[in-house]
Amino acid sequence: MLHLGTLVAVIIAFWKDVKEIVVEFFKWVADGFKLRNRPSRRLLLMLILGTLPLVAGALLENYISAAFENPIFIGIALMFTAVLLWCADRFGGGNKNARTAKLSDGLKVGLMQLVALFPGISRSGSTICGGLFCKFDRDFAVRFAFLLSIPAVLGATVFKLPDLESAALAENLAPYAAGFITAAVCGYLAIALVRTLMKKGSFRYFAVYCAVVGLLAVILSIA
């Protein structure tokens, strides 16, 4: 339910792009799945390629689940996220957009999303960094990262739906609804914050936050 909330937030925040991609998908089907040098077609194909690595993620589910129970691993992963953010902020970025990016760039960013399945590694942070390392301009890096989350979150929700008991949902609708609404509102505000900071050209705030929290997690786990 929390995933659904964040999914709604992303769709609302990037509604124009989402609508354009959906329309382009049906045009692509009607066009016999031909490649066309249109920004919307290129963006659609990049998102498809970027989602493919998550198939491997389903095979890693047991390892990923075990990592959630290891606070030291999570702390180290947070510090890894901090280094990733700092490096992308310092050395990444360019002028590629939906018109000039390569289809292979979508796959490269998708591999970053696969790494982010492990706890402590920010999904949006790692995919934005992936885009910056592929020389996306900052606005396109953010847009692509969050659009890439739509099939990922939707797929995860559908995959986990059988675990949700309808009887439990009916009896405890209030906490589920509260979680959904809170996730949607906070998700939308988080997207707005990321876009604002990217316009200012800096990820250092997120990098410092992840480094401090990660270090505390490791110290408190050992102590």
Whether the pTM exceeds 0.75: the reply is yes
pLDDT in tens, 128-155: 999 999 999 999 999 999 999 999 888 8
CA distances from 170 to 95, 158, 160, 164 (A): 50, 19, 17, 11
Q: CA-CA distance, 41 to 47, in Å (whole number)?
A: 10
The conformation of residue 136, written as its DSSP 8-state character, comes to: B
Note the pLDDT of residue 166: 65
Is-contact 42 97, C-beta < 8 A? Answer: no
pLDDT in tens, 40-73: 999 999 999 999 998 887 777 777 878 888 899 9
Question: What torsion do the CA atoms of 83, 196, 127, 42 make, to the nearest 10 degrees?
Answer: -150
Please, which residues bridge with residue 96 across strands?
136
